[in-house]
Structure 1
């Protein structure tokens, strides 16, 4: 049977674009891709990239205060949201153009419209056109969801935060995951009065308890009004703002309410279940170790599979798919020991097991320190950093590393190489410290603070 293309990719995010252009460029496969919004997907257009640029912008208010303490004559001015927003949109346009050029130079045909599945080898575009392909790759990502609450549509999500006509004077952020906490810190740094509700006992569920507690205390000390064990009970439009009543009985009015209460895989209306593709509880596409669905010709990668919701993981899954399907080299994407960062202020970098996870598996030793870094101590600031290693008593391998400090994301990338290679605590001990740095503490932790 002949097909229009060897591969049709649905979704132009980081994973889908990488798979499409590598399949076309490295294997000479004929490839097409459909994207209903903008090339680059969540990460480039409404996630990692614009968020990190907002993180950069938000740190300058504190940096200017610190500069004054260091002797600089700095006169802080107001933050211009329109100026930043204009530069942001220009940058996103530039990046989208790069993605388009990469696909074009690889010979990938791009359709700027929605595509759904018609049968195991056919996709249907929004204009009714049907296109056949030997293999179909679904890489449609995820989408933020609003809670099941009356008037929830008065709130915004992380998708809309970049496009607000003006910064609010006050905002309620609902949620305790990394997106909620990152934007709480960002907006606080930009001068917005931030209140955050999280229904759980502590923010950043799933991360190391000591690290998440450290971040929570820092957020509160720097002016974020954080309420755990709290959720929205009612919300209404009132007096030019949004009136909110919490489950604890508190009533407050905010200029904006932002929901960061979860993201679901983008699978609605795709025609997946009609073809016999298994869909999980949250709407995710169920795949095997090689990203193949229950329909042999259809594969899925990235957030739509709800395995590990990280852009570099989606890219790795896309590369593994090409190796498996087009290069004849069956390759499983590696989901073990993935370093990641949370861009709160301070940042958290993490890899491996938390203390809580590790102690349930085997006897461990905990090496940990918290201190005021030189830069802060010099000017009398109370901000502290946290360095933590989780070590197996039996094998001496470092099972987990957790850093809460400025630039922790940069540090964990390099520590991640050693831990991925199976470094032991003694390997860390044999490494000479770089002085004076924050990261030198990782190789000077000599005595465990506790065992478990």
Structure 2
């Protein structure tokens, strides 16, 4: 059978674009359909705009520190309009780069929604229908809004970048990394931030000691964080939304933002009719090669709900092309993926948490918390934390957790060592770089506890 394309990619995010470009570079005839904006969640409404907001929110503290170091430094009011205009211009620039990547590699792009008709056919919202030898689903995820009265008046992380005005007050509901990052960002920009999380502690699934440290620092920095608390009722009133919490408090917030998780965007995609198996959350079920129950249909990125990180989606896309178009079956490696949470302070992590390590066997915990030189001199009370989880039998470093400014930069390099199977003695043999915060990773000599 002759197909219109060798590969049809549904979704123009990081995973989809990388897959399309690499497949085309191998000589495949490739098309890609994106219904919103090229670049996906990361570029348009996730990592990139969020990190730029992180930078913007950090300047007041930097100016305070500058004064402590002798500079006659002052800071005026923050202009959301100025920042938002530059932000949108930057996103437009990046979207243009993504479009150029596709066109320069010979990928035919369609600004349309695509649905799967069968194992080899897709139909676009424009009415066009195409056949393809292989179909790759890379549509990503979307924010989840709980089903409750008044939820239609709340915003999500998608809308936070589009606000005409920066709110004076906001309630953020959720305890994951998106909720915590935006609580810190908006607090840094001068917004009165309250955060509700129904669980016992924020950042569930991360190392508990690190989470406790971050929660304490967030509160110290001005975030009104309530754990074990959810919305009991929410009503639209003049000036915003009146919210009663399950803790008994009632307050009015200019905005309420739900950051209560994300779900795969598979509704109405036609996958089940084509024979593709979906999970309970709507995620596409795939094997280690990102192949679905239909041999010609693959899926990568957040739509599979494996590890929902941009670099992972890109790695999955690369492995897909190696497997399907280069004849080199390549399973995706999801082990020991380092990640960063851009709270203030920042959190970098790779490998096992202390809680997970308890199921591994006997381990040693090396940890330290201290005031870093820069902030100590400036008179700030904030502390950083460094932590290593070490197996007693093999001496391998099973996990590394850093809570500090620039923790994301540090964990990228520590992640290489952990991925290579470095032992505690390998860390100890490494001469410290002085004076930097990260030297503590190679100078912790005695465990603080064993489990």
1:174 aligns with 2:162: no
1:410 aligns with 2:409: yes
- Summarize deviations over 1:190-228 as a string: whole Å, max 9, x none: 000000000001000000000000000000001100000
Displaced runs of 4 or more, over 4 A? none
1:227 alignment partner in structure 2:
226
Tell whether the 8 Å contact from 2:283 to 2:303 is kept in structure 1 after alignment.
Answer: yes
Q: Counterparts of 2:281 and 2:114 in 1: how far apart (Å)?
A: 21
Q: Matches of residues 294-373 of structure 1 in structure 2 within 5 Å?
A: 294-373=293-372
Q: Could you say what secondary structure the match of 1:378 adopts?
A: helix
1:4 alignment partner in structure 2:
4
Q: Could you say what secondary structure the match of 2:412 adopts?
A: helix
Which runs of 5 or more residues in structure 2 are unaligned? none
1:272 aligns with 2:280: no
1:16 aligns with 2:6: no
Q: Could you say what secondary structure the match of 2:273 adopts?
A: helix
Residue 342 of structure 1 deviates from its aligned partner by 0.1
Residue 142 of structure 1 deviates from its aligned partner by 0.2
- Summarize deviations over 1:351-377 as a string: whole Å, max 9, x none: 000001001221000000000000111
1:444 aligns with 2:435: no
- Summarize deviations over 1:375-431 as a string: whole Å, max 9, x none: 111122110000000000000000000000000000000000111000000000000
Residue 114 of structure 1 deviates from its aligned partner by 0.3
2:79 alignment partner in structure 1:
80
Q: Could you say what secondary structure the match of 2:317 adopts?
A: helix
Q: Counterparts of 1:90 and 1:127 in 2: how far apart (Å)?
A: 28
Residue 249 of structure 1 deviates from its aligned partner by 1.5
Residue 69 of structure 1 deviates from its aligned partner by 1.1
Q: Could you say what secondary structure the match of 2:83 adopts?
A: helix
Q: Counterparts of 1:381 and 1:184 in 2: how far apart (Å)?
A: 20
2:201 alignment partner in structure 1:
202
Residue 334 of structure 1 deviates from its aligned partner by 0.5
TM-score in terms of structure 1 length:
0.99
Residue 247 of structure 1 deviates from its aligned partner by 1.0
Q: Could you say what secondary structure the match of 2:260 adopts?
A: coil
- Summarize deviations over 1:278-318 as a string: whole Å, max 9, x none: 11010100001100000010000000000000000000000
Q: Matches of residues 176-191 of structure 1 in structure 2 within 5 Å?
A: 176-191=175-190
Q: Counterparts of 2:145 and 2:301 in 1: how far apart (Å)?
A: 21
Q: Could you say what secondary structure the match of 2:161 adopts?
A: helix
Q: Matches of residues 49-60 of structure 1 in structure 2 within 5 Å?
A: 49-60=48-59
Q: Counterparts of 2:386 and 2:239 in 1: how far apart (Å)?
A: 45
- Summarize deviations over 1:307-336 as a string: whole Å, max 9, x none: 000000000000000000000000011000
TM-score in terms of structure 2 length:
1.00
1:116 alignment partner in structure 2:
115
2:379 alignment partner in structure 1:
380
Q: Could you say what secondary structure the match of 1:9 adopts?
A: strand
Tell whether the 8 Å contact from 2:397 to 2:422 is kept in structure 1 after alignment.
Answer: yes
Q: Aligned residues, how many?
A: 451
Q: Could you say what secondary structure the match of 1:273 adopts?
A: coil
Q: Counterparts of 1:376 and 1:300 in 2: how far apart (Å)?
A: 46
**Could you say what the CA RMSD is over the residues aligned between the two structures, in angstroms?**
0.5
Q: Counterparts of 1:18 and 1:451 in 2: how far apart (Å)?
A: 44
Q: Counterparts of 2:65 and 2:204 in 1: how far apart (Å)?
A: 31
1:425 aligns with 2:450: no
Q: Could you say what secondary structure the match of 1:365 adopts?
A: strand
Q: Could you say what secondary structure the match of 2:378 adopts?
A: coil
Q: Counterparts of 1:414 and 1:240 in 2: how far apart (Å)?
A: 47
Which runs of 5 or more residues in structure 1 are unaligned? none
1:434 aligns with 2:440: no
